[in-house]
Amino acid sequence: MSEITINAGNFEAEVLQSNIPVLIDFWAPWCGPCKMIAPFIKQLAEEYAGKIKVGKINIDEEGDLAAEHGIVSIPTMVLYKGGSVAEQKVGALPKHGIEALIKGYI
């Protein structure tokens, strides 16, 4: 499974009601560090398919959703488990850093 696009319309169903942990990547097309980590996010979505859901929220298209979650800098990765924020990291991380973020929750 690859990443899914999360928006205000599907956030509750895809993230808050998910029965598996959800890693959300808050990003924007103009963000250089976001582009740098995008391949890592995609790889992890495929490697951990069925164990974790990986979603992407474009802050340009979903500004209200980003504001609701206090996103002030991108990339920001937020891990949700059981409908609540379990962990959050701001800034570009290497693949093993992102993987370490999710491993404790699967």
Catalytic residue among 22, 31, 66, 101: 31
Residue 46 annotated in active site:
no
CA distance 57 to 3: 10
Residue 51 annotated in active site:
no
Catalytic residue among 34, 45, 71, 79: 34
Question: 83: helix, coil or strand?
Answer: coil
3-state secondary structure string across 45-73: HHHCCCCCEEEEEECCCCHHHHHHCCCCC
Which residues participate in catalysis according to the annotation?
31, 34
